[in-house]
Amino acid sequence: MGLWRLLLHLHLALCVSLPAPSNVSISSFNLEHTLRFLPGLETPPDARFTVHILRLRRKTWRPVTACLELRAGQTCDLTYVFKDLSDPCRARVQAFTSTQTSNWAVSERFTPLSDTVLGPPDVSLSGCGNCLLLHITLPMKAPKQLKQLYRRVVLHVRRSRDGAQFDLSLTYNEENKISYLQQGVEYCVSVSVTSLTNYNCVASPPRCAFTSPPRPTSSPHILHSLLAALCASAFLLVGLLVCASRLSFSIRRQSLQRTLSHVLQWRKGRTAPAAASDGMSSLQQHREDSADCLLPAPPSSCPNAVQWH
């Protein structure tokens, strides 16, 4: 009996001589599960690590195929290993070499549904007068099962002007309206989600928006508006002057054409009567001169008459 005990102790000393890993833990964020661990002190560099999981309802340890030969510093992705989100489980890690192994290091109990951390959703914010429209969507890389956990959203609303704030708890919807706000005022909103069995949540970074477009109060905006108005007035005045000058020129031209037409018609009508009057005056004068020569007259009045002595 003593010899067998001695051989057993020698076998255990030779086979179980590596230090066991430490700090074995499972962290989960948005249903993405990761196992981490640290090598034991004085673990040789060529050591490898294997991972097993235990579903407490089945009470059977099973190896994780993708995590059978991990190196120190590597992690094990358990996202697709836990198919039943409500099934509690544990994980264990063992170090080994070609000739030696270590004891198993076991994690704490982990339940995916209640122990995962619900990260912030993607949030967009827009104004609607005296309200804000809030759009909530899943993170791009989040698994589809995450949406099944969303039951309520908690809104942390803060007014930028004076820091006044309040919280709202609403049923989860992809679009939510925050009503009864002041118009033209900026509000900042951060969002966190909760489920019936999980309150481990992280709020989103604040998103800020005005309920309606703010009134322009800065002098550069006023100056730009005045310059735009002056430019528009100048263009309008130049256009009116151009149109007025064209209209005035057209009216003067038409008036000048009518005046010239009247003058030409008047001169044409006066030329014919004047010519006829001149012809009759010459003939009448010739006749009067001939009659004067036939009448007795003083000797000097008719040079062609015969003088009688």
End position of a domain, from candidates 115, 146, 162? 115
Q: 139 and 96: one domain?
A: no
Summarised one tens digit per residue, pLDDT across range 255-305 is 666 776 766 676 666 554 444 444 444 444 444 444 444 444 444 443 443
Q: How far apart are CA 113 and CA 106, in angstroms?
A: 20
Question: For residue 64, what is the domain's CATH number?
Answer: 2.60.40.10
Q: 128 and 165: one domain?
A: yes
141: Cα within 13 Å, side-chain hemisphere: 5
The β-bridge partners of 167 are 156
- For the chain, give the percent of residues with pLDDT over 70: 69
What mean pLDDT do residues 119-132 have? 92
Q: What is the DSSP-derived secondary structure letter of residue 22?
A: E
Q: 110 and 138: one domain?
A: no
Q: 36 and 90: one domain?
A: yes
pLDDT at 222: 61
Output the CA–CA distances (angstroms, integers) from residue 5 to 2, 8, 14, in the order listed: 5, 5, 14
Q: 42 and 68: one domain?
A: yes
Domain count of the chain?
3
CA angle 45-49-51, nearest 5°?
Answer: 165
Q: Is residue 264 part of a domain?
A: no
Question: What is the per-residue DSSP string for 196-242?
Answer: SS---B-PPPPEEEESSPPPP-SHHHHHHHHHHHHHHHHHHHHHHHH
Q: 25 and 98: one domain?
A: yes
Q: Is residue 269 part of a domain?
A: no
Q: Is residue 303 part of a domain?
A: no
Rg (C-alpha) for the chain, rounded Å, is 57
Q: Which domain holds residue 185?
A: 122-210
pLDDT at 261: 72
Element (H, E) at 300: none
pTM tops 0.85, yes or no? no
By DSSP bridging, strand 165-171 and strand 101-102 are unpaired
Q: Is residue 301 part of a domain?
A: no
Q: Is residue 267 part of a domain?
A: no
Summarised one tens digit per residue, pLDDT across range 45-63 is 999 999 999 998 888 899 9
Instruction: Report which of residues 103 and 212 the model is more confident about.
Output: 103
Q: 194 and 239: one domain?
A: no
End position of a domain, from candidates 56, 81, 115? 115
Q: Is residue 1 part of a domain?
A: no
Q: 25 and 103: one domain?
A: yes
End position of a domain, from candidates 88, 115, 142? 115
Q: How far apart are CA 233 and CA 239, in angstroms?
A: 10
Q: Is residue 274 part of a domain?
A: no
Q: Looking at the predicted structure, is the pLDDT value of residue 181 above 80?
A: yes
Q: 22 and 80: one domain?
A: yes
Q: 67 and 126: one domain?
A: no
Q: Which of 27, 28, 24, 87 is nearest to 54 (CA)?
A: 87
Q: Looking at the predicted structure, is the pLDDT value of residue 34 above 50?
A: yes
Q: Is residue 82 part of a domain?
A: yes
Q: 79 and 128: one domain?
A: no
* 3-state DSSP assignment of residue 303: coil
Q: 205 and 230: one domain?
A: no
Q: Which of 111, 117, 192, 196 is nearest to 149 (CA)?
A: 196
